[in-house]
Amino acid sequence: MTGSLPEIEDKFDIENAEKLIEIGYPANKEVLVELISWSCFPNDPVCFATFPYIESLADEILAPSLAEFLEFHLSCEQNEMVDHAFWLFINKRGEKFRNLVFSFIKSDESRVLFTLNEYSLDEYHKKIIKKNQK
């Protein structure tokens, strides 16, 4: 991390997570991808701070960081993180947001994700319906 921004040391470091959130956007812009990463682990204590913050960001603020997050994790073959991003953040906001995130994607490999059935809005809605029926 650069500058004087705090760094989240581990999944229990709620204090530094809250400091980063308190700093707010745009001052914490350089750590948004990191905050997204911490938000993908709902059983980790730090997620209880980061997830609501990430969800609260406006589409135009979140989209570029989500695109960067997707491209990084796809390049590292961390498909589970890509899954989390689609199900926790991208599809939840709908087609307009999907298109906005897509507009920031640079690699063809990452662009393909938006064409895969497993990441489609239809699949997302099916999973939500199935979850609600339980």
pLDDT for 3: 66
Domain that holds residue 27: 14-133
Cα separation, 10 vs 14, in Å, equals 9
Please list, in sequence order, all residues whose beta carbon lies within 8 angstroms of the beta carbon of residue 115, skipping any fewer than 6 positions away: none
Q: Is residue 64 part of a domain?
A: yes
Q: What is the number of alpha carbons within 13 Å of residue 6 lying toward its C-beta?
A: 16
* Domains held by the chain: number: 1
Q: Is residue 20 part of a domain?
A: yes
Cα separation, 88 vs 128, in Å, equals 12
Q: Is residue 5 part of a domain?
A: no
pLDDT for 102: 98
Task: Measure CA 53 to chain center.
Answer: 11
SS3 category, 94: coil
pLDDT for 16: 98
Cα separation, 85 vs 81, in Å, equals 6
Cα separation, 67 vs 44, in Å, equals 23
Q: What does DSSP assign to residue 30? A: G
Prior bond to 26 cis, omega within 30?
yes
Q: Is residue 4 part of a domain?
A: no
Q: Is residue 51 part of a domain?
A: yes
Q: Is residue 63 part of a domain?
A: yes
Instruction: Return per-residue pLDDT of the chain as tens, 134 residues.
Output: 446 899 999 999 999 999 999 999 999 999 999 999 999 999 999 999 999 999 999 999 999 999 999 999 999 999 999 999 999 999 999 999 999 999 999 999 999 999 999 999 999 888 888 878 87
pLDDT for 1: 44
